[in-house]
Amino acid sequence: MNHHSIEESGAMQAATYYNVMPDGTVKQVNPFTGTEVWAVPGRRTRPLTNETPHTAKTIEIHTPGDYCSFCPSRYFEPPPEKSRLIRNYDEWQKIDFLAPDKYHETTAEFRRVGNMFEIVTLDYWRKNYAYKMIGSRQKWKEEYLANAAGLKHITDIIYYKMRQEGRTDEQIEKIPMTEKLAIADAFFGGGHELIIAKRHYKEGAQNELDLFSSGEMSIEEHFRYFKFTVDALHDVIETNRYVRYVSVFQNWLRPAGASFDHLHKQIVALDEWGASIENQVRMLRQDPNVFNQYGANFATHHNLVFAENDHAIAYAGIGHRSPTIEIYSRSASGRPYEHSDEEIRGISNLVHAMHAAMGTQISCNEEWYYTPVDAVYKMPWHVLIKWRINVPAGFEGGTSIYINPMTPIELRDKMVPRLYKLRDENKIDRIRIAEECRVDPNPLKYYLK
């Protein structure tokens, strides 16, 4: 052994994160999470396809949609609407706190509502922080309950929620009205929200698998979806001073944890960053350029970058338990709500292109990461799209080595031809694909002041 082997050179470090073995096995360690993953040749998944299995049931299309509680003809099934986005040809308008008797006067392209079953509850904030609903929310609640349609809406969903929690109608009757209405506070002032898209099925749908995914949107719709979510995320922070991070995610289809097939994002306010962000901020403190060094630059050196535009870059991620596409903002700003509209559009266009290229039938989680509210070290806003296509192998629990059914290169090579095709058809933005990517060193500018 020579002395060189003791020092960790850049190449040595790279080899520990991403190592292609002579038999084709790709051993990977995620530089940011430490997750150890192997992609083993011969464990191939089915080719990506949008062919419909014979078992898919045909559907009857109704206008407006009425297939689930998130559909446009069923506006009163979720909790009260905090905000909606409407569209008049090219004009988009946000309406906050719409009066309940006016819900059906316009059609919402997107709705922002409380989650009836919160992960982090309003009581959590009340009991642990003495959180009080801010004045404007309190006022909204009073006005809502003073409206006959509003009172009926709230009463109906309180009954629904209590029945879901296992209470009988008789038991519910006996609970005093003030106590019932206290439950409704979470619908007005809670920090777990949903952003719901308009459509359930895509244009021309014939069977139950023809669902409307993020990739079915137009480029403009997807930008509005992103922007509306960013605004909601910002508002959640503005209305609860104890919030330190807001988790934003989208579970697409049941294998990815979605309880509805109807497209929606979730926003959950938290009083901590979570272990993953804590760790990433720790790495940033040691090396402010870590997201270039072990993210974008690393991906460039291993030819994993496969799409970009002036505001964002996309590559196949390493060290994930399932095939994962990573989309990074190039912005000097670390939080989504500090991005300009053009920058949001840039990252939205790449995320949209990824969903469009994947098609509607791959279940996936879209997860957002960004600089926490109270962090002094900036990390870039990035979005991970994790495909939920593999069942964990038995030995993973014992070894903490995970088997990913696809190598990062295979993931890249599945995406590239589809992106070219969609771009030719003008279904995605004019992004740069594969060899067209410029892949400058240090493409992420978050480290700049």
Interaction site with Zn ion (CB under 5 A): 67-68, 70-71, 200, 262
Of residues 165 and 203, the one with the C-beta less far from Zn ion: 203
Q: Report H helices in 43-134.
A: 122-129
Q: E strands, 183-311, where? A: 192-197, 245-252, 264-270, 305-308
3-class DSSP assignment, residue 111: strand
Name the amino acid, one letter, at 138: Q
Q: Provide, rounded to whole angstroms, the least separation between the CB of residue 60 and Zn ion.
A: 14
Distance CA 101, CA 387 (A): 41
Q: Provide, rounded to whole angstroms, the least separation between the CB of residue 200 and Zn ion.
A: 3
Q: Provide, rounded to whole angstroms, the least separation between the CB of residue 365 and Zn ion.
A: 20
Host H or E run for residue 18: strand 18-20
Assigned token pair, 107: 């059609």
Helix axes 341-358, 219-238, angle to 10 degrees: 120
Distance CA 122, CA 132 (A): 9
φ, ψ for residue 410, nearest 5 deg: -65, -40
Chain mean position to CA 134: 27
Query: Is the Cα torsion angle 72, 77, 80, 82 positive or negative in sign?
Result: negative
Q: Provide, rounded to whole angstroms, the least separation between the CB of residue 202 and Zn ion.
A: 12
Q: Provide, rounded to whole angstroms, the least separation between the CB of residue 217 and Zn ion.
A: 15
Q: Provide, rounded to whole angstroms, the least separation between the CB of residue 17 and Zn ion.
A: 42
Of residues 69 and 279, the one with the C-beta less far from Zn ion: 69
Q: Report H helices in 102-134.
A: 122-129
Of residues 200 and 321, the one with the C-beta less far from Zn ion: 200
Q: Provide, rounded to whole angstroms, the least separation between the CB of residue 434 and Zn ion.
A: 36
Four-point Cα dihedral 109, 235, 157, 261, nearest 10: 50
Of residues 157 and 305, the one with the C-beta less far from Zn ion: 157
Of residues 67 and 368, the one with the C-beta less far from Zn ion: 67
Q: Provide, rounded to whole angstroms, the least separation between the CB of residue 21 and Zn ion.
A: 46
Of residues 200 and 311, the one with the C-beta less far from Zn ion: 200
Which residues fall within 8 angstroms of residue 285, CB to CB, at 6 or more apart?
Answer: 377
| Strand ranges of the sheet holding 36-39, from the earlier edge strand across to the other edge | 18-20, 26-29, 36-39, 401-403
Q: Provide, rounded to whole angstroms, the least separation between the CB of residue 70 and Zn ion.
A: 4
Cβ 150 vs Cβ 229: under 8 Å: no
Q: Around Cβ 186, how many Cβ atoms within 10 Å?
A: 23
Of residues 184 and 253, the one with the C-beta less far from Zn ion: 253
Of residues 71 and 186, the one with the C-beta less far from Zn ion: 71
User: Is-cis flag, bond preceding 64, omega within 30?
Assistant: yes
Of residues 62 and 163, the one with the C-beta less far from Zn ion: 62
Name the amino acid, one letter, at 315: Y
Best CA proximity match to 200, nearest among 254, 262, 258, 259: 262
Distance CA 265, CA 189 (A): 18
Q: Provide, rounded to whole angstroms, the least separation between the CB of residue 282 and Zn ion.
A: 42
Q: Around Cβ 11, how many Cβ atoms within 10 Å?
A: 7
Of residues 263 and 379, the one with the C-beta less far from Zn ion: 263
Q: Provide, rounded to whole angstroms, the least separation between the CB of residue 201 and Zn ion.
A: 8
Q: Around Cβ 121, how many Cβ atoms within 10 Å?
A: 15
